[in-house]
C-alpha cells in the first residue's frame, strides 16, 4: 500500500523556492509578508 503523499523536493523548489518567489511581483509580496510575520523559513 502506498503512502498518502510524497512531496518532491525538486518540484517544491521549482514552484515555491526563494528564487522562483523573487521572480514575480506576487512572489516578492509573499516573501515580504512572511518576513513581517517573522517566519523562520521564508520559502520552501
Contacts of 27 by beta carbon, 8 Å cutoff, 6+ apart: 20, 21
Q: What percent of the chain has pLDDT over 70?
A: 100
Q: Is residue 2 part of a domain?
A: no
**41: containing domain:** 11-44
Q: Is the pTM of this model over 0.85?
A: no
Q: Is residue 3 part of a domain?
A: no
Q: pLDDT grade, residue 42 (50/70/90)?
A: very high
Q: Is residue 6 part of a domain?
A: no
> How high is the pLDDT of residue 7?
92
Q: pLDDT grade, residue 30 (50/70/90)?
A: very high
The CATH number for 31's domain is 1.10.287.3980
> How high is the pLDDT of residue 14?
96
Q: Is residue 39 part of a domain?
A: yes
> How high is the pLDDT of residue 2?
87
Compute the CA torsion angle 2, 4, 44, 21 (nearest 10 deg): 110
Total domains in the fold of the chain: 1
Which grid cell is 11?
518540484
Amino acid at each position: 500500500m502506498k503512502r498518502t503523499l510524497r512531496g518532491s523536493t525538486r518540484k517544491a523548489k521549482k514552484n515555491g523556492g526563494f528564487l522562483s518567489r523573487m521572480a514575480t511581483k506576487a512572489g516578492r509580496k509573499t516573501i515580504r509578508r512572511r518576513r513581517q510575520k517573522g517566519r523562520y523559513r521564508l520559502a520552501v
